[in-house]
């Protein structure tokens, strides 16, 4: 066999290098546009899955102002009404401040009948589920309420924020969504990877790994209206099917409807940006920082030394469940020294709202 020309060897080496480069580039590109886990913080910093990075087009996206419609579901019970009034008060205060992209507001009232807040809060009345279908799990009405609202309402904004009565806007809220990527808050207790057996009843293997299901609920979520119109009926159907399955109902309990939204989104191939700064939850989150929403779902119990006594009624406490039959009084006592900023801010904001809402004690 004769000697090989040096020029031929150089050509072969360069060809192999070029082919390898193209292969690596193609793999990296495909990985970058596959289904990453995307996290944002309020500074625009990005937390990504350690293996798969965020698509570059989303990372560098610059956009014009994109208002979103604020929508929350509610009942006509006193417990729901006083929370809605506080929530709406802070929406109005933050809506037009710099940095806000909040648009219109709707309370979706799923009692089927008007109540005494119709003139105070923009409201659309929808029907509840047929009697007995929710089996005492009132939030099962939420997806059905959104289905009806999306069908009957005229919504000018392209995006919708799904919120809840026990949300307080602590700072002006921008649109955290990016195009086809809705924004959602990641809940530590929503764990699709630890519930694969159950979730496979509703999310078949051909849809991919259960890690395609985001660790979220439906609120807070900012999402394109057209996407929500597709997801909402599936969310409703998955919720009902989960409730009908005794094993799933027992395991998921009060977060069943949250899992149902996460599954419904994944069934439609929708992935959410997991926005950690979307909200804080006292007493576990200690500081306000740059977060946007206070979610006061947990009771806050402290002794007079400012020490948390969670699980035990404190010498000082604020718990929304203490006011099931009517609104909290005006001018609630502030927590003792040493209690975290998040709890102090929560009580101050409740007090400001109740002091300025007319006829606060009227129900």
Please provide residue 314's backbone torsions phi and psi, each rounded to the nearest 5 degrees: -85, 165
Tokens of 187: 């809940």
pLDDT, residue 271, reads: 96
Query: Which residue, 342, 348, 304, 303, is CA-closest to 330?
Result: 348
Task: Name the DSSP class of 308.
Answer: B
Among 3-7, 84-88, 143-147, which is the least confidently predicted range? 3-7
Please provide residue 222's backbone torsions phi and psi, each rounded to the nearest 5 degrees: -110, 125
Please provide residue 125's backbone torsions phi and psi, each rounded to the nearest 5 degrees: -95, 130
Tens digit of each residue's pLDDT (9 = 90 or more) over 144-198: 999 999 999 999 999 999 999 999 999 999 999 998 899 999 999 999 999 999 9
Please provide residue 273's backbone torsions phi and psi, each rounded to the nearest 5 degrees: -75, 125
Instruction: State the Rg of the chain over Cα.
Output: 24
Instruction: Kindly state the average pLDDT of the residues 119-140.
Output: 93
Contact 223, 185 (CB under 8 A): no
Measured CA to CA in angstroms, residue 187 lies from 97, 116, 169 at distances of 28, 34, 19
Task: Name the DSSP class of 140.
Answer: G
Write down the residue that tokens 């309420």 correspond to.
Answer: 145
Q: How wide is the angle at C-alpha 105 spanned by C-alphas 104 and 109, nearest 5°?
A: 150
pLDDT, residue 69, reads: 98
Tens digit of each residue's pLDDT (9 = 90 or more) over 317-357: 999 999 999 999 999 999 999 999 999 999 999 999 999 99
Burial per residue of 32-46, b for 16 or more beta-carbon CB atoms within 10 angstroms, e otherwise: beeebbbbbebeeee
pLDDT, residue 136, reads: 85
Please provide residue 218's backbone torsions phi and psi, each rounded to the nearest 5 degrees: -85, -5
Please, which pLDDT band fits residue 33 given cuts at 50, 70 and 90?
A: very low
Tens digit of each residue's pLDDT (9 = 90 or more) over 209-260: 999 999 999 999 999 999 999 999 999 999 999 999 999 999 999 999 999 9
Question: How far apart are the C-alpha atoms of 86 and 81, rounded to whole Å?
Answer: 9
Close Cβ partners of 309 (under 8 Å, ≥ 6 residues apart): 301, 302, 303
Contact 115, 81 (CB under 8 A): yes
The rounded percent of the chain whose pLDDT value lies above 90 is 78
Q: What is the DSSP string of 257-273?
A: HHHHHHHHHHHTT---E
Q: β-pairing, 293-295 with 167-169?
A: antiparallel
pLDDT, residue 51, reads: 25
Instruction: Kindly state the average pLDDT of the residues 61-89.
Output: 93
Tens digit of each residue's pLDDT (9 = 90 or more) over 255-304: 999 999 999 999 999 999 999 999 999 999 999 999 999 999 999 999 99
- For 136: left if phi > 0, alpha if psi spans -120 to 50, otherwise beta; the answer is left
Q: Which of residues 37 and 89 earns the better pLDDT score? A: 89
Contact 294, 167 (CB under 8 A): yes
Has residue 3 got a pLDDT over 60? no
Has residue 94 got a pLDDT over 70? yes
Write down the residue that tokens 């929710």 correspond to.
Answer: 134
pLDDT, residue 39, reads: 46
Query: Which residue, 249, 190, 252, is CA-closest to 219?
Result: 190
Question: How far apart are the C-alpha atoms of 170 and 132, rounded to whole Å?
Answer: 37
pLDDT, residue 11, reads: 47
Question: How far apart are the C-alpha atoms of 310 and 300, rounded to whole Å?
Answer: 7
Burial of residue 151, with CB atoms counted within 10 A of its CB: 0-12 exposed, 13-18 middle, 19 or more buried: exposed
pLDDT, residue 81, reads: 98
- Kindly provide the residue ranges of all beta strands, DSSP E only, lying in 44-198, ordered along the sequence: 46-48, 68-74, 102-109, 123-125, 159-163, 167-169, 183-184
Please provide residue 221's backbone torsions phi and psi, each rounded to the nearest 5 degrees: -140, 130
Please, which pLDDT band fits residue 14 given cuts at 50, 70 and 90?
A: very low
Q: How wide is the angle at C-alpha 312 spanned by C-alphas 309 and 318, nearest 5°?
A: 75
């Amino acid at each position: 066999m004769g000697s090989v020309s040096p020029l031929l060897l150089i050509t072969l080496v360069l060809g192999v290098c070029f082919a390898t480069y193209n292969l690596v580039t193609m793999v990296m590109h495909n990985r970058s546009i596959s289904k990453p886990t995307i996290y944002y913080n309020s500074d625009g910093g990005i937390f990504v899955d350690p293996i798969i990075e965020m698509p570059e087009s989303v990372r560098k996206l610059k956009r014009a102002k994109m208002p979103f419609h604020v929508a929350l579901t509610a009942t006509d019970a006193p417990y729901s009404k006083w929370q809605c009034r506080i929530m709406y008060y802070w929406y109005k205060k933050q809506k037009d401040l710099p940095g806000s992209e909040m648009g219109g507001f709707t309370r979706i009232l799923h009692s089927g009948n008007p109540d005494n807040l119709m003139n105070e809060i923009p409201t659309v009345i929808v029907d509840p589920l047929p009697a007995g279908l929710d089996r005492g799990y009132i939030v099962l009405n939420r997806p059905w309420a959104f289905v009806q609202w999306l069908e009957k309402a005229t919504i000018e904004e392209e995006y919708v924020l799904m919120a809840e009565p026990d949300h307080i806007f602590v700072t002006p809220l921008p649109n955290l969504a990016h195009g086809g990527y809705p924004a959602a808050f990641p809940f530590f207790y929503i764990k699709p990877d630890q519930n694969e057996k159950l979730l496979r009843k509703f999310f078949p293997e051909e849809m991919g790994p259960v890690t395609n299901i985001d660790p979220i609920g439906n609120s807070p979520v900012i999402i394109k209206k057209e996407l929500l119109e597709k997801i909402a009926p599936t969310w409703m159907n998955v919720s009902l099917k989960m409730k009908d399955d005794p094993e799933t109902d027992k395991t998921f309990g009060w977060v069943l409807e949250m899992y149902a939204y996460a599954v419904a989104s994944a069934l439609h191939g929708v992935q959410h940006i997991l926005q950690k700064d979307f909200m804080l939850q006292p007493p576990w989150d200690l500081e306000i920082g740059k977060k946007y929403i206070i979610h006061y779902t947990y009771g806050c119990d402290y002794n007079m030394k400012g020490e948390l006594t969670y699980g035990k009624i404190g010498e000082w406490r604020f718990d929304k469940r203490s006011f099931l039959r009517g609104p909290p009084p005006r001018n609630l006592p502030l927590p003792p020294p040493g209690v975290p900023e998040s709890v102090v801010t929560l009580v101050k904001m409740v007090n400001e709202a109740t002091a300025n809402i007319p006829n606060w004690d009227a129900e």
